[in-house]
Amino acid sequence: MGLIFIDFWQDGYQLIIKYLNVNFQFVLAKLLYTGVILFITYLLLKLRVTVVNKIFDRSTNDINKAKTLKTLLLSGTRYIIYIVAVLTLLAIFEINITPMLASAGIVGLAVGFGAQNLVKDIITGFFIMFEDQFHVGDFIEVNDQTAGTVEELGLRMTTIREWSGKKFYIANSEIKTVRNYNRGHLRTVVSVSVPFEVNLQRVFTTLEKVCQNITSIHADKLIRQQDGSFVESPQIYGITDINKDERGVVFTVIAVVDPAYYWFLEREFRRAILEYFQAAGITIAYPQLNINIKTAQNFETLHGTSQGGAVDSETLA
């Protein structure tokens, strides 16, 4: 009896060892394949960055457009590599994905109701790129609220870096209006108010000197035509308002500038106007309050009373 039990235990032990060996080899092989797939995925992710950078580094026609296409291509290829890697891993572990694909239509219908905004984001993002509304690196203002430099432009979301350093993530479907400061050229418009009492010809002469100063110092920041002349050199646009906020006369100076120096030239215009006005003794208009005080004599004349407060009999009659 004891011998039978020993033989049975030895046979069972051999079967267990054999089963464990087979399964260990199976698991080890699967893990090895998984490691290879993950390593290849990592290499492809790195390789795609190198290849895309080399392709777009050769393109110098439109830097901002090249950055946009590069960002989009890197994003798209990353998703493709991830999807292929996941499907390959499922196949290695002999997971049948056919039922998954068959049920994708039903799942998609169920998810579709909750993913309407996602679909809108993707469609809007496609049209933003197709219509070439803005590129990576452009300074834009979105919905008259957020202004900054475009850092990323994807099918679902656009990221904008504000001048203060804050980064905004805006869903593409939320973008209604875009003001792009990097297309063609921009016109700097600066206005200044002077009191009514100031000699207007004197103001014109002083502003002419301001425009000449800006032209001589910042000529490289102005837009030129093919013949070398300025598209619109710094000049006096004229009197653009009278009695604005009851302050005085408004003068405006303009210039067509490179988009990169739009705000810089505005600041330079204001600095030069202030310096030249101070040198010429011209006062910039500011709010004033006029108070009319009636004397006792005027009060008596209007109301027929004396300083003591008595009322004339003729007034009462």
Q: What is the pLDDT of residues 174-231, one digit of tens each?
A: 999 998 888 778 899 999 999 988 999 999 999 999 999 999 999 988 988 888 888 8
Mean pLDDT of 87-112: 67
pTM over 0.85: no
Q: Which of 204, 200, 205, 163 is nearest to 181 (CA)?
A: 163
CA distances from 84 to 77, 80, 81, 91, 93 (A): 11, 6, 5, 11, 15
Q: Is residue 307 part of a domain?
A: no
Q: Do 76 and 139 share a domain, yes or no?
A: no
| Residue at a domain's end among 133, 161, 180 | 180
Range scoring the smallest mean pLDDT among 31-40, 143-152, 196-205, 283-292:
283-292
Radius of gyration of the chain, Cα coordinates, nearest whole angstrom? 39
CA distances from 169 to 121, 143, 161 (A): 12, 14, 9
Q: Do 193 and 266 share a domain, yes or no?
A: yes
Q: Is residue 304 part of a domain?
A: no
Q: Looking at this protein, which amino acid is placed at residue 281? A: G
Give CA angle at 37 (33, 40), nearest 5°.
Answer: 135
pLDDT at 97: 66
Q: Do 247 and 214 share a domain, yes or no?
A: yes
Q: Is residue 296 part of a domain?
A: no
Q: Do 10 and 46 share a domain, yes or no?
A: yes
Domain CATH number, residue 149? 2.30.30.60
Q: What is the pLDDT of residues 42-59, one digit of tens each?
A: 998 888 888 888 877 765
Q: Is residue 109 part of a domain?
A: no
Q: Is residue 316 part of a domain?
A: no
Q: Do 174 and 193 share a domain, yes or no?
A: no
Q: Is residue 72 part of a domain?
A: yes
Tell me the residue range of the domain where 170 lies. Answer: 116-180
Tokens 């709010």 belong to residue: 287
Which of the 8 DSSP states describes residue 309? Answer: -
pLDDT at 311: 46
Q: Do 207 and 123 share a domain, yes or no?
A: no
Mean pLDDT of 110-126: 72
Distance, CA of 253 to CA of 21 (rounded, Å): 88
CA distances from 117 to 111, 173, 231, 244 (A): 11, 7, 44, 46
Q: Is residue 314 part of a domain?
A: no
Q: How many domains are there within the chain?
A: 3
Q: Is residue 299 part of a domain?
A: no
Which of the 8 DSSP states describes residue 305? Answer: B
Most confident listed range (63-72, 92-101, 269-278)? 269-278
Q: What is the pLDDT of residues 280-307, one digit of tens each?
A: 999 988 876 667 666 655 555 555 555 4
* Strand extents, DSSP E, the chain: 139-142, 146-153, 157-161, 167-171, 178-180, 186-194, 235-242, 249-257
| Residue at a domain's end among 180, 208, 231 | 180
pLDDT at 205: 95
Q: Do 210 and 239 share a domain, yes or no?
A: yes
